[in-house]
Structure 1
Amino acid sequence: MRNSLILIPIILLILVASALYLNDMISSAKRISVNVERMEIAGASFEKVTINVTLCMENPSSYYYSAEEMRYGIYVEDAKVGNGSLNKITIPPESRVCESSLMDLYYSGLGKALANLLYEGKVDLNVNGTMKVNVIFIPVEVKFSERKTIKL
C-alpha cells in the first residue's frame, strides 16, 4: 500500500513531463518555415513550360524532424496551373535545408499570364502548400504561401 502511494506521484510526474515535452516538440514543428528560394524556367515546349522550384525549410528548434511529404500548388491569378511535391525530407536541428523539384505548367491553364510571359518576359506566381512533419507518431501540418516572379 505504501509503495503504491509513492508510485502514483512518480507516474503522474512522468506523464506530465512527457506531455509537456510532446507539446514543445509540436509547437516547435509549427515554427518550421518554408520559403520559395528560387523558381527558374528549366525548359519550354509548345504545350508546357518546365519550372525548377527550390524550396528551403528552416528549423530554428533543437529538435530533429522528418517529413514524409510536402505538396504545393502554383497559382496564376487564382487559377491553379501546376502541382509539385517533395518526399522524405530531413530537417536537422537549427538548420536550413533546400530541396528542388521540376514541375510542368501547361499553357492551357495560364490564360492572361501567358500574355504577360510572352510580352513582358515575366509572370507572377503564388505558391501555396503544406508539409507534414512527423513528431514522434503525430503528423503536424506546416502551411506555407509565397508570391514569386519568374523571368524568361
Structure 2
Amino acid sequence: MGRPIIIADRFHFCRYIYWALDQVRRRVQKTFHEYDRKKCKQMHHVFHKRPEKLSEKQTWYLNRYLELSEELREVYGLKNQFQAWFDKHRTSKTEGTDVFAGLQTFYQAVETSALKEMKKAVKTLKNWQPEILNSFIFGHTNGPIEG
C-alpha cells in the first residue's frame, strides 16, 4: 500500500480567514461610537456574505462600517481576494502550480498589510499548504459526510 494523500477540507481552512476578519472587526468596533459598535456587532454577517448577495440595506451597513475604519476595509479586501482565489480554482480542474501561484499572491498581499490577525491565519494556511493544494488538485471533500 502506498502513502495516502491527505486533503484538507475546504470549510476547515477557509474559516481561518473568516475568523481573522471577525477578530479585526471585534477589535475595531470597540473604538466606534456606542450605536455603531452595537449595530456593527449585530450586522457582523454582512462582512462574511459575498457582495453580490447583500441586500440594499446590508450593502449600506457594510459600506458604513468600511468607511469608518481603514483596517476593516483592508481585512475585507483581503477576505474578498481569498474568496476570488478560492472560487477561481474550486470549480475548475486547474494545475497545482496555478493554485499555488494564486495562493502565494494572497500570502504576499497579507504580508504587506499590518493586520496581525490575517498574518496568523496565513501562517496556519502555510502550515497546511500541501493538504490545501491537494483539495483543489483532487477535488475531494468530506462535506457531505459532516453535513
TM-score range, shorter chain: under 0.3
* Structure with the higher helix share, 1 or 2: 2
Q: What TM-score, normalized by structure 1, do the two folds share?
A: 0.25
* Structure with the higher strand share, 1 or 2: 1
Q: What TM-score, normalized by structure 2, do the two folds share?
A: 0.26
Higher relative contact order (CA 8 A, sep 6+): 2
Larger radius of gyration: 1
